[in-house]
Amino acid sequence: MSGDIVLSAGVRANLLQLQKTSDLITATQTKLATGKRVNSALDNPVNYFTAQGLQNRAGDLSNLLDSMSSAFNTIQAANNGITSITKLVQSAQALVSQAQQTSDTTVRAGLSTQFDQILSQITQLAGDSGFNGINLLDKNNSTDLTVTLNERGTSSVTIAAVDFSATGLVINNSTNNWSTTSDITAASTDLTTALTTLRSQAQAFGSNLSTVQIRQDFTKAMINTLQTGADSLTLADSNEEGANLLALQTRQQLSTTALSLASQASQAVLRLFG
């Protein structure tokens, strides 16, 4: 068309080079601004989607880490409860021992009353040993605790709730105000059995705590590995990109100069008609 502007080959070549350099500068500035050399699938499809997969898995593991932390605290709360209940049982044993050493029915009656109060405290303490709605010492009012250990849900550990109220530990209230030796002996037997049960369960909870903590530490290390791997695929080297930007800006200046020279060469033709 008669209205079209015709550029010389030199001007067109220099203009194209200037546009390419400008695009490279914009891309480099983006890398420096975001800190990443791969910001989209257009930059590097393999690295971008691989990094996305690693970051997604790290995110899934982070969610599991929160769940494991809650489970750890739940088990710890139950373990704290067992420790305190054990102390109460030992206090009850001291009362039984005192009762066995006297034949005074009045003294025995007083010790019997204290014994029943301790049993009440054992039941209340067991009911107060929950965390986040789960109480491993109050089976009647709570549920078992299942902890998922990997993002696929193929690894888990279940901690069964127990009944560690005085009734659950099979510690019977004192009968007949401990007026007979057989009543006191029965209480002593109940307490000895309860202590054995408490210690056994404390070992089980300790093992569960250790398992969950080991998996917590492993999960934290795995998250760090995944994030490091994703970063290595996408993060930019600020020093390298800074050097690239400086080189591109220099090239841009040279291209602008070349474009100017090419334009001057075209203008020289006009002087022939001057």
pLDDT digits (tens, 9 = 90+) for 209-244: 999 999 999 999 999 999 999 888 876 666 776 777
Residues 257 and 201 in one domain: no
Cα–Cα distance between 22 and 15 in angstroms, integer? 11
Left (φ > 0), alpha (ψ -120 to 50) or beta: where does 8 sit?
beta
In a shared domain, residues 147 and 203: yes
My answer on whether 229 and 244 are in the same domain is no
Q: What is the pLDDT of residue 11?
A: 63
Residue 19, domain extent: 9-35+236-271
The mean predicted confidence, pLDDT, of the chain is: 85
Least confident of 37-41, 224-228, 240-244, 260-264: 260-264
End-to-end CA distance of the chain: 27
HSE value, Cβ hemisphere, 13 Å, CA-based, for 251: 18
245 and 159, same structural domain?
no
Domain-located, residue 194: yes
- Sequence-distant (6+) residues with CB within 8 A of 129 are 77, 78, 80, 81, 82, 135, 136, 137, 138
The helix/strand/coil state of 174 is coil
Report if residue 3 sits inside a domain.
Answer: no
Q: CATH no. for residue 144? A: 1.20.1330.10
**21 and 266 in contact (C-beta within 8 Å)?**
no
**pLDDT for position 22:** 72
CA dist 144 and 129 (Å) reads 14
Tokens of 39: 């910001």
Residue 4 lies in a domain: no
Q: Are residues 252 and 148 in the same domain?
A: no
* pLDDT value, residue 261: 64
Q: What's the pLDDT at 196?
A: 96
What percentage of residues in the chain have a pLDDT greater than 70?
85
Q: Is residue 40 assigned to a domain?
A: no
Cβ atoms of 159 and 147 within 8 Å: the answer is yes
**What is the rounded distance in angstroms from the CA atom of residue 90 to the CA atom of residue 264?**
104
Residue 236, classed as helix, strand or coil, is: coil
Among 252, 208, 271, 269, residue whose Cα is nearest residue 20: 252
Q: What is the pLDDT of residues 181-220, one digit of tens each?
A: 999 999 999 999 999 999 999 999 999 999 999 999 999 9
Closest-CA residue to 125 (of 161, 182, 164): 164
- Name the strand (E) or helix (H) holding 56: helix 45-100
Instruction: Report how far residue 138's alpha carbon sits from residue 163's, in angstroms, rounded to the nearest whole number.
Output: 5
Query: CA separation (Å) from 269 to 14, 153, 256, 264?
Result: 19, 78, 21, 9
